[in-house]
Amino acid sequence: MIPLVLGGDRRHVGERLARFVVTILDDEQARRPLTGLVRAAASEPEAALMVRDLVSREIIARIVEQLDVDDAELRANLVASQIVGLVMARHVVAMHPLADAPAERVVAAIAPTLQRYLSGPLSDAAG
């Protein structure tokens, strides 16, 4: 996954990550274990730890570290929060119209936020 997301122009890494995530989530077989983990994480501390490790440390942190940006751990957490929130809203709670939105529309909507989290400024404030 990491070479897929990092390959190409870094100005579009957020879009590639968004497309990868939405594609995985739109595949029912791939989505089932992820939604199960997110559901369990909402109520079980051990499952929450597993989700946190899987998404933040094992996947997103590796991408952010290879981008060589400041605040890599915070950026990884922000990206993970966006992804877990997307799983919850689109596939667990099924919030409409997000749950029914075409994949490309979701990609276009979340890609700029992921891009900023991955490589843009996190805030205007110092610290």
Domain spans, the chain: 2-119
Mean pLDDT, all residues of the chain: 87
pLDDT single digits (tens) 54-86:
777 777 777 777 778 888 888 888 988 899 899
Residue 48's pLDDT band (cuts 50, 70, 90): confident
Do 117 and 78 meet the contact criterion of CB atoms below 8 Å apart? Answer: yes
Q: Around Cβ 48, how many Cβ atoms within 10 Å?
A: 15
Question: What pLDDT does 44 receive?
Answer: 87
Q: What is the pTM of this model?
A: 0.84
What's the CATH superfamily of 2-119?
A: Tetracycline Repressor, domain 2 (1.10.357.10)
